[in-house]
């Protein structure tokens, strides 16, 4: 990050002239006029008298933890930067800074790291004398089976038979609330905890929290289960895509297990319908699963599982009497338009009130 005030721009202009010997470049003109085009981060050093690295801010006793393969990945990244730099040198309007002024090269990085205490983590067991092998294992299959009579059977059996404690990690606070309700409907009571230390201080066998964690793990005394373990990676990816598009993402449908037969749902393009279950169809010898949705006048819409991100919960007051929209009409489009206009009117009134 860098400041975009007049002082920083003045420093940039001085450094740019010193580095390139002219002021003809596109980047120079844009920054001089207070605009910061894409790729400006590659000129970041020009906004400062001097720059430092992350390692300059670490305590002398800091321990560096890295995964096996870090050295190879760093070298690969360095090679890609060099290729990109050679390509960018051909641009007369966007001359790049010398690469060593923007990035540390591999030799410089490992020279700074050589005096630091380091820990390397890896999945395979190590036979080296200085290694410490933890007693961990992969979790058994726990994926929720939405088309069975007891979708949570595997999870329930694991929790009942596992002698240690279990922590379920959700991707967000909203997801934590939704999953807690789901577990409760199958007589699994999960206690909320704020973080890892809170979990360790709890005594309940099953706890639930939210954090950025993609894979679970099984140890002797505890097990950590993530949404990937419960819903599968494809469904979780759809959740993330939907979060980028909708502010009410945490209330959106994230898995088929959360949709009950007859539930009203909302399709982004077609409006309110009722869920009738899963249907399988074969196309070119490939079987695909679809959500079957009923609309007004008995019309049926089949939505591919891969488009689950287009489905969200119906949030009306009475789900038993949810109004079904008519396929092929402008009913849903008009309803969305009216809602948008009403929202605009409310915003206009608020602005008028604040103006007074």
336 is a domain residue: yes
Domain boundary among 120, 147, 166: 120
Query: 107 and 144 in one domain?
Result: no
91 is a domain residue: yes
271 is a domain residue: yes
102: domain CATH number is 3.40.50.11180
Query: 111 and 154 in one domain?
Result: no
pLDDT 10s digits, 224-280: 999 889 887 655 555 555 444 444 444 444 555 567 788 888 888 888 899 888 787
Report the 3 state secondary structure along 150-196: CCCHHHHHHHHHCCCEEEEEECCHHHHHHHHHHHHHCCCCCEECCCH
The model's pTM is: 0.47
Total count of domains within the chain: 3
169 is a domain residue: yes
pLDDT 10s digits, 145-170: 776 778 889 999 999 999 999 999 99
Query: Average pLDDT for residues 39-62, to the nearest whole number?
Result: 89
* pLDDT score, position 353: 55
249 is a domain residue: no
Query: 110 and 44 in one domain?
Result: yes
Residues 6+ away with beta carbon under 8 Å from 217: 136, 137, 138, 139, 223, 224
Query: 315 and 351 in one domain?
Result: yes
148: domain CATH number is 3.40.50.11140
Exposed/middle/buried for residue 340 (C-beta within 10 Å: 0-12, 13-18, 19+): exposed
130 is a domain residue: no
What confidence tier does 114 reach under pLDDT thresholds 50, 70, 90? confident
Cα torsion through 85, 58, 195, 118, rounded to 10 = 80
Question: Which residues span the domain enclosing 325?
Answer: 259-356
142 is a domain residue: yes
Query: Average pLDDT for residues 177-190, to the nearest whole number?
Result: 86
């Amino acid at each position: 990050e860098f400041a975009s005030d007049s002082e920083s721009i003045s420093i940039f202009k001085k450094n740019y002239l010193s580095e390139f010997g002219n002021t003809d470049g596109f980047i120079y003109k844009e920054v001089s006029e207070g605009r910061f085009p894409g790729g400006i981060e590659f000129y970041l050093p020009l906004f400062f008298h001097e720059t430092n690295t992350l390692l300059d801010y670490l305590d002398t006793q800091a321990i560096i933890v890295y995964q096996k393969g870090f050295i190879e990945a760093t070298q690969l990244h360095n090679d890609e930067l060099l290729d990109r730099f050679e390509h960018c040198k051909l641009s007369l309007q966007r001359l790049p800074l010398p690469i060593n002024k923007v990035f540390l090269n591999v030799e410089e990085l490992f020279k700074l790291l050589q005096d630091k205490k380091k820990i390397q983590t890896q999945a395979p067991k190590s036979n080296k004398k200085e290694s410490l092998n933890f007693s961990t294992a992969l979790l058994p299959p726990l994926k929720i089976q939405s088309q069975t009579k007891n979708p949570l059977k595997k999870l329930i059996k694991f929790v009942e038979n596992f002698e240690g404690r279990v922590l379920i990690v959700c991707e967000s606070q909203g997801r934590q609330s939704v999953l807690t309700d789901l577990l409760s409907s199958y007589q699994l009571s999960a206690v909320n905890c704020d973080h890892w230390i809170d979990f360790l201080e709890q005594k309940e066998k099953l706890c639930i929290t939210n954090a950025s964690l993609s894979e679970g793990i099984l140890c002797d005394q505890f097990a950590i289960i993530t949404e990937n373990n419960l819903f599968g990676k494809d469904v979780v990816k759809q959740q993330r895509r939907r979060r980028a598009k909708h502010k009410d993402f945490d209330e959106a449908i994230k898995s088929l297990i959360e949709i009950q037969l007859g539930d009203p749902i909302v399709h982004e393009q077609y409006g309110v319908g009722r869920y009738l279950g899963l249907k399988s169809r074969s196309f070119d010898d490939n079987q695909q699963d679809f959500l079957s949705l009923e609309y007004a006048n008995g019309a049926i819409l089949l939505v591919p599982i891969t488009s689950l991100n287009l489905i969200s919960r119906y949030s009306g007051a009475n789900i038993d009497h949810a109004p079904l929209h008519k396929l092929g009409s402008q009913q849903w489009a008009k309803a969305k338009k009216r809602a948008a206009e009403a929202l605009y009117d409310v915003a206009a009134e608020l602005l008028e009130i604040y103006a007074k």
